[in-house]
Amino acid sequence: MSDITTSSTYSVGTKSYSNNGLSSLVSGMDTDSMVKKLLSGTQTKIDKQGQAKQVLEWKQNMYRDIITSINKFQSTYFDTSFDSTLKTNLASSDFFNTMASTSSSGAVKITGASSDALTGDMSVQVTQLAKAASITNSGLTSSSDVTSTIALTDSDLLKNFEARTVNIKVGDDTTGTTIDLAGIANTTDLVNKLNDSLSAKNVTAKLTNTGTLSFTSANNEKIDISGTDYGLSTLGLSSETTSKDVTETSSTTSNGTTTTSSTTTQVLTAATSPNTAAKMSFSITMNGVTKQIDVDPTTDGNGTQTITADAVKKALAQSIAKAYGGTVDTDYNVTGGYLNLTMNADSTFTLTASDLASSTTNGNKMASQFTITGASSSKLGITPGTSNRLSTDATLDAITNHKDGTTTSTGYTSTNTYAFTINGHDFSFKGDVSLYTVMNAVNNSNCGATMSYSSLSDTFKLESNSTGSGYSLTTNEDSSQNSGKNDLLATLLGGNSVVQGQDAKATVVSNGVSTDIVRSSNSITVDGVSMELTKVSDTAATISTSRDTDSIVKTVKQFVEDYNTLITALRDKTDEDATYKDYAPLTDEQKEDMKDSEITAWTEKAKTGLLRNDESITSFLNSMRSALYTKPANSNFALYDIGIETESYSSGDSSIGTLTFDETAFRKALADDPQSVTNLFTDSQSGIAYQLSKICDSTAKVSLTSPGSLVQIAGVSIKSWSAKNNDIYNQIKDIDDKITDLKEKYDDEKTRYWDEFNNMETALSTYSSQSSWLTSQFSS
C-alpha cells in the first residue's frame, strides 16, 4: 500500500494556512485553498520530518524494551561479583554445590546447609538446651478473683442508685456545684433551680428554641457536667458517659455554651418518673467472649418499685447465673457456673473463674481470664477495666497497691518514684506511669534484658536477651527512693531468685568421630550444616546431607526456558516482514479521517519490521549462540554433553538458536562429574555463565563509562545521563531543529502569499470603484 499523501498543517490544524485578509471578497477566488496548495511543499517536508522522528521514537522504545529484557535475564542467572547472594547464580560454584540436609528427629531442626557442607550422615544427641538467665513470677495476681470495693449494704451504694444529683464544674473549678434535681415539677422550676445554684459561677441556664437546656458561661469558660445516673438522665444526658464524655458529647463550644440533648418534655418526664436510671448494665469478657450483665434492682418480682441492698444482690446474682450458668442460693451466691459469685461477710462480693484448676501448663494453673467493662460497674465497687489478670495499662502505684491517703478518688498519687537497676542500667519512673511504659523502656534499652507478661498463665518474666551460662541477670531496687511503699520489681517478680543461664550441650558423631560440644546458643553449625536444637532427647538425631540436585535441576531448567523466551522474542524482531515500508506514520490530519481501530491497525503495521536484520541484535544472538559451544579447559563437558543442546538451523523456524533440555542426561552428568558441570558454567575465562554475562554486558550494560551497544544507540529512560546521551536522541534533536526551520519557512511563505493575495484584492477593489464611477458619469 502506498503512502497517504494528503497534506496536513504542521501545528494548528487544517486552517493554519488561513489569514485575516480580504479573502476573495472582490475576486471570488478560493484563496484559502490556493494558499494551502502553495504551502503544501513545505508542509510535506514538515510531515516527512515528523514521520522520521516518530519512527526513531518507536525504535528507541523497542531497543529499550530489549535492553530491559536482556538485563533481567542476566540479573536472574549471572552475578559475577565476589559477594553475590543470588540463589540462582549459574556463575557461582556455590550454586552447583547447593546442599540439602534432613533430620530424623524433632529434637534437631535443620535451618540450612552451606555449599561446603560435609555430605553423608552425622548424629546429634541433645543433652541440654541453652537457656537465658531469668526471673519468673507465676500467678502474679495470686487468684482468679475480682472483689468489689463497696459494701452492698453501704448507704452510699443506695444513694448512687436513688440520688438525682448533678455536679457542674466551671473553668478550673475542681470541686463543682452539686445540685439536687429531685421533685422538679415543671420547666420553670427546673431552670430556676439551676440558675439559683449557678449564679455565683456566672453560668446561666435557659430553654432553647428546640426545647433543650442550654448552659452559658458569662466568662466563656468550659462547663463540665457530671452526676449520678439518675441526675444526668434528669438533664437529658447519658447515664453511661463520664464527666469528660459529657462535656464532649454535649457540644461544649469556645464561647462556654453547653446544650443537653433531650427536650424539656423528656427532662420533666425523667425528673418525675420512677427511678428507671437505677437499672444498669455492664459487660464481662471471659476468654474472649463478651456477655452483658443487666442489673435491675427496681423490681422485686411482684411488680412493685423498690431499691434495697437485697434487691441489688438478687438482680446481680440472677444475671450472673443467666450469663454463666450455676444456681443462686438464698444468700445470693452463685455456684456451679463458669463464673461464680460469692457474697462476702463484709457485704462486698467476689467474682471467681470456676475453672482455676482445670488446665495446667508446666505445673502452672491456668485460670479463665475475665475483664469487666462498662461505667455502671463502678456503682457496684468495680472499676471499669478490672480483670483477674494484671493490666499493663495499670499505674505503678496501683500495681504496688501504694495508697498515701491523698484526696484523689483512688488514693494514689503521681509523686511517688520507683527506681531500680537491671544489669547496672538505671531506671526511674513516677507512680502514675503505666506498667506498659516501664516494660517498653526496659525492652528498648541497652540493659540486655526483656520484660514480658503472659495473661494466659498470669506470669511476669524478666529474661536476659542472650542464652548461655556467660550471660547473667542482676537487679536492684533503690530503697532510698522506694521507702514507705512496696518495691516495683519485688511486686512484679515476687522476690524470686535468678535462674542462671545455661549452655547447650550435644554429642555429635561425624565421620565416625564422637565429639561433645558446648554452645551458648541453641543455634549451632556443624560441618557446614546449620541447625536449631529444640529439645533434649534420649536418642540421637540422624542428619543426612547431600547435593540438592532437585533444586539445581529446577533452576537450570528454568534458565533454559527463560533463555529460549528471550532469544525467540529477539529473533522474531529481526525476522519480521518490513511492512513499515508501506505504512508511514500517520499525520494528525490523516488521523482526523480515521476510526480509532483503523489508526491502531495502521500504527501496528507501521512499526512492524523496524528492527528487521538489526545489526546489533543479530550480533547479540549470534554471540550468545556461539558461547553455548564453549568448553573450558578444566571441564570434561561441553553443554551438549550434559543434556543441553541448541536447535538445528532452518530458515523460518521460530526455534532457531533455542535450547533443549534433557533432564535425565543432566542429572547423570551432575552425579558422575559434578565438578566438570560446575566448571563448565563458572570458569572465570570461558565458562558458559561468564561468556553469556559478558555478551549481555556488551549489548545492554547501563554504564556511563562503558555502555552496551544498544544503550549507546537508544539509552535508557531510568538514567537521565543516558536518556540524553545516545544516538537516537541526537538524531531526534537534529530532526527537531529541521522542523523548527521548516516551520519558520512555512510561516514566512504563508505571510508572503497572503500579502500578495490581499494586495490583489485591494487593487481589484480600487479598480471596481473607479469603473463604477465612470459608468455612472457616462450614464448621466
Q: What is the pLDDT of residues 494-521, one digit of tens each?
A: 878 889 999 999 999 999 999 999 999 9
The answer to the question of residue 62 being in a domain is: yes
Does residue 772 register a pLDDT over 80? no
Residue 405 has pLDDT above 60, yes or no: no
Residues 484, 576, single domain; the answer is: no
Is residue 407's pLDDT more than 60?
A: no
Report yes or no: 84 and 689 within 8 Å, Cβ to Cβ: no
Of 493, 471, 469, 472, residue with least CA distance to 420: 493
Helix (H, G, I), strand (E, B) or coil at 170: strand
Of 276, 297, 331, the last residue of a domain is: 276
- Residue 416: the pLDDT is 76
The rounded distance, in Å, linking the Cα atoms of 636 and 641 is 9
Rounded to a whole number of angstroms, the CA Rg of the chain reads: 46
Instruction: Kindly report the backbone phi and psi dihedral angles of residue 540, in degrees, each rounded to the nearest multiple of 5, phi listed first.
Output: -80, 145
Where is mean pLDDT largest: 81-95, 131-145, 214-228, 402-416? 81-95
Mean pLDDT taken over the chain: 82
Can you give the pLDDT at residue 531? 96
Contact status, residue 155 vs residue 242, Cβ threshold 8 Å: no
For the four alpha carbons of 79, 83, 86 and 90, in that order, the dihedral sign comes to positive
The answer on 307 and 223 residing in a single domain is: no
Share of the chain above pLDDT 70, in %: 80
Q: For residue 366, what pLDDT is reported?
A: 53
pLDDT at 371 exceeding the cut of 50: yes
Co-location of 268 and 284 in the same domain: no
Residue 128: band (very low, low, confident or very high) from pLDDT cuts 50, 70, 90: very high
Q: Is residue 308 part of a domain?
A: yes
Give the range among 122-126, 510-514, 600-604, 760-764 with minimum mean pLDDT. Answer: 760-764
Element (H, E) at 13: none
- Quick one: 646 and 685 in the same domain? yes
Residue 716 lies in a domain: yes
Lowest mean pLDDT among 184-188, 236-240, 642-646, 659-663: 236-240
Query: Highest mean pLDDT range out of 75-89, 214-228, 600-614, 721-735?
Result: 600-614
pLDDT category, 741, cuts 50, 70, 90? Answer: very high
Rounded distance between C-alpha atoms, residue 570 and residue 623, angstroms: 13
Mean pLDDT along residues 184-203: 83
C-alpha span between 562 and 740 (Å, rounded): 46
Q: Which residues touch 678 (CB under 8 Å, ≥6 apart)?
A: 93, 96, 97
Residue 722: exposed, middle, or buried by beta-carbon count in 10 A (0-12, 13-18, 19+)?
buried
Strand-pairing partners, residue 419, are 428
Range from 211-225, 241-255, 402-416 carrying the lowest mean pLDDT = 241-255
Tell me if 28 is assigned to some domain: no
User: Which residues, other chains included, contact 319 with Cβ-Cβ below 8 Å and sequence gap of 6+?
Assistant: 293, 294, 295
Q: Are residues 518 and 485 in the same domain?
A: no
DSSP line for 92-111: -HHHHT-EEEEESSTTEEEE
Predicted pLDDT at 347: 86
Same domain, 324 and 364: yes
Q: Is the pLDDT of residue 357 over 60?
A: no
Query: Please, how many CA atoms are within 13 Å of residue 113, restricted to the half-sphere of its CB?
Result: 23
Cell numbers at 646, concatenated: 541448541
First to last CA, the chain: 68
pLDDT tens per residue across span 131-162 = 999 999 876 655 568 888 877 775 656 555 65
Same domain flag for 438 and 300: no
Contacts of 705 by beta carbon, 8 Å cutoff, 6+ apart: none
CATH code at 427? Answer: 3.30.70
- Mean pLDDT throughout 107-131? 94
- Provide the pLDDT confidence category of residue 651 given band limits of 50, 70 and 90: very low
Mean pLDDT, residues 571-584 taken together? 94
Q: What is the pLDDT of residue 408?
A: 43
* Domain end among 334, 359, 380: 380
pLDDT of residue 255: 45
The pairing of beta strand 145-147 with beta strand 177-180: unpaired
The reply to whether 38 falls in a domain is no
E strand segments, 199-256: 203-207, 212-217, 223-227
d(Cα 160, Cα 231) in Å, to the nearest integer? 10
Number of other residues whose CB lies within 10 A of the CB of residue 255: 9
* Spatial distance between the Cα atoms of 780 and 776, rounded to a whole number of angstroms: 6
Residue 452 domain-assigned (yes or no): yes
Q: What is the largest CA-CA distance in the chain?
A: 143
Question: Residue 133 has which C-alpha cell?
Answer: 538467665
Q: Write the pLDDT tens digit of every residue in 295-333.
A: 887 655 444 445 678 888 999 999 999 999 999 999 999
pLDDT the model gives residue 618: 96
What confidence tier does 488 reach under pLDDT thresholds 50, 70, 90? confident
Find the range with the poorest average confidence among 210-219, 398-407, 625-634.
398-407
- Its domain, for residue 245, covers 155-276
Mean pLDDT in residue range 69-75: 96
Dihedral (Cα; 37, 39, 41, 46), 10-degree rounding: -130
- Please check whether residue 745 lies inside any domain of the structure: no
> For 728-748, what is the mean pLDDT?
92
User: Are residues 243 and 322 located together in one domain of the fold?
Assistant: no
pLDDT at residue 17 above 50? no
Are 176 and 209 part of one and the same domain? yes
- pLDDT class for 234, splitting at 50, 70, 90? low
**253, pLDDT greater than 90:** no
How large is the average pLDDT for residues 433-438?
93
Three cell numbers written together for 60: 528507541
Q: Is the confidence at residue 585, as pLDDT, over 80?
A: yes
What cell numbers appear for 247 in the block? 462535656
Instruction: Work out the percent of the chain whose per-residue pLDDT is above 90.
Output: 48
Q: Count how many Cα atoms sit within 13 Å of the Cα of residue 421 in the half-sphere of its side chain.
A: 8
Amino acid at 12: V
Position 378 scores a pLDDT of: 79
In angstroms, rounded to a whole number, what is the distance separating the alpha carbons of residues 258 and 221?
Answer: 10
- Using CA atoms, how far apart are residues 731 and 60, in angstroms rounded to an integer? 11
Phi, psi of 595 (to 5 degrees): -80, 160
Measured CA to CA, the distance from residue 126 to residue 537 in angstroms comes to 6
In terms of domains, do 118 and 186 share one?
A: no
Q: How far apart are CA 386 and CA 480, in angstroms?
A: 31
Q: What is the pLDDT of residue 241?
A: 39
Same-domain check for residues 266 and 283? no
For the chain, what is the domain count? 5
Classify residue 634: in a domain, yes or no.
yes
Q: Where are the beta strands (DSSP E) in 595-656?
A: 644-646
Residues for the chain: how many in total? 780
* Residue 654: predicted pLDDT: 52
In the 8-state DSSP scheme, what is residue 158? H
Q: Which of 262, 160, 153 is nearest to 214 (CA)?
A: 262
C-alpha cell read off for 196: 439559683
Question: Is residue 99's pLDDT more than 70?
Answer: yes
Query: Among 686, 704, 729, where does a domain finish?
Result: 729
Coil, strand, or helix at residue 453?
A: strand
**Residue 355 has what pLDDT?**
62
Report whether 77 contacts 90 (CB < 8 A). Answer: yes
pLDDT in tens, 195-210: 888 888 888 888 777 7
Give the phi and the psi of residue 354 in degrees, each rounded to 5: -75, -15
Mean pLDDT of 176-189: 79
Provide the residue type at 664 as one letter. T
* 609 pLDDT above the threshold of 60: yes
228 and 336 part of one domain: no
Averaged pLDDT for residues 206-221: 78
Q: What is the pLDDT of residues 23-33, one digit of tens each?
A: 566 666 778 88
Residue type, 454: S
